[in-house]
Amino acid sequence: MKKIILLIGIVLIITSCKRDNALQQSIAKINTDIAVERFDRLFAEATSEDLPKLKQAYPFMFSEKYSDSFWLAKKADTLQIQLFNEVDKTFSVFNDIETEIESLFNHLKYYFQEFNPPRIITVTNDVRYRNKVIVTDTITVIALDNYLGSEHEFYSSIHKYIRANLTKEQIVVNLAGEYAKKYIYQQPKKTLLDEMIYFGKQLYFKDAVIPFKTDAERIGYSPKQLNWAIANESYIWRYFVERELLFSTDSKLPGRFINPAPFTKFYLEEIDADSPGQLGQYIGWQIVRAYMKQNDVSLKDMLIKSTEDIFNNTKFKPRK
């Protein structure tokens, strides 16, 4: 009997792998081709004679309330020169990241036929890490000075849990996250479960559109942090259920379980220090994954399902 069960399992795995390979081959045939516009370089290298043409080509990058002398003084500023030099050193070659962005766009076009690839423009923004990526229908702006590496000297005053993801590997992950926000529709979040499902949708969206990234990269964990979440999944779920937190509207809960943080606040001395932040997002991700596995629903349709619909139609069982 055990041999039969094992054989069935192997057949299912092989079938699933073949199906996944066929899907990725279909997506690859879309063959999106982009040309990244390195505005950061164009601005750093512009002379007073070049500036009018640059402003004409990129009017949205120059506020009209500032004169040419302001922009010329800015590009000549010592700190700006240092910033450009560090960006240019880290991103002297952009081919690998460009390939990842093209793959992301292939997947977006496959799942959302109305999607049209925007212009991709790279800039620096004085390490405003809360605005690393800006996405519109026609233009996507990537601030490269936010991706110089977690140990870069520019980030010494930034909390360790934030700078851990200020790496070039996170560029396409952040892009996917911004597109997820555009395609997700959900009623205003009231309960902890609302928050969990919303971010679970974001993370499942990343599963679909950047399958070449690891689970750890998609959620912004280190491999060690992801392993901790997997190992303690059952405990985390039990904690939420036993304390009746899922349907609570306590405004403090997102800060404890959803928002980026150095650790999750269970208020239990023995585990808080070891836990990664955002474990509410992680559990929401597993709920949405279970929902998609158990229901015949497209990615596009799932993104607009209500919290109640997803939760009530999911038999979620955490890993033990």
CA separation, residue 131 to residues 10, 61, 140, 300 (Å): 45, 15, 12, 26
Distances (CA, A) of 276 to 66, 79, 159, 256, 259: 44, 34, 14, 11, 11
Residue 28: pLDDT band (50, 70, 90) is: confident
For 159-215, the pLDDT digits (tens) are 999 999 999 999 999 999 999 999 998 888 899 999 999 999 999 999 999 999 999
- How far, in Å, CA of 147 to CA of 145, rounded? 6
Q: Dump pLDDT digits (tens) for 211-243.
A: 999 999 999 999 999 999 999 999 999 999 999
For residues 96-118, average pLDDT: 96
* pLDDT tens digits, one per residue of 39-70: 999 999 999 999 999 999 999 999 999 999 99
pTM of the model: 0.91
Backbone torsions φ then ψ of 171, nearest 5 degrees: -60, -55
Q: Where are the domains of the chain?
A: 39-183, 192-312
Q: Are the C-beta atoms of 100 and 212 separated by less than 8 Å? A: yes
Angle at 306 between CA 303 and CA 308, to 5 degrees: 135
Average pLDDT for 291-308:
97
What are the φ and ψ backbone dihedral angles of 121, each rounded to 5 degrees? -125, 125
Token pair for residue 152?
Answer: 């870069």
Return the axis-axis angle of helices 68-76 and 78-90, rounded to nearest 10°. Answer: 70
The packing angle between helices 279-294 and 192-209, to 10°, is 70
Residues in the chain: 320
> What value does the mean pLDDT of the chain take?
92
Res 27: pLDDT: 87
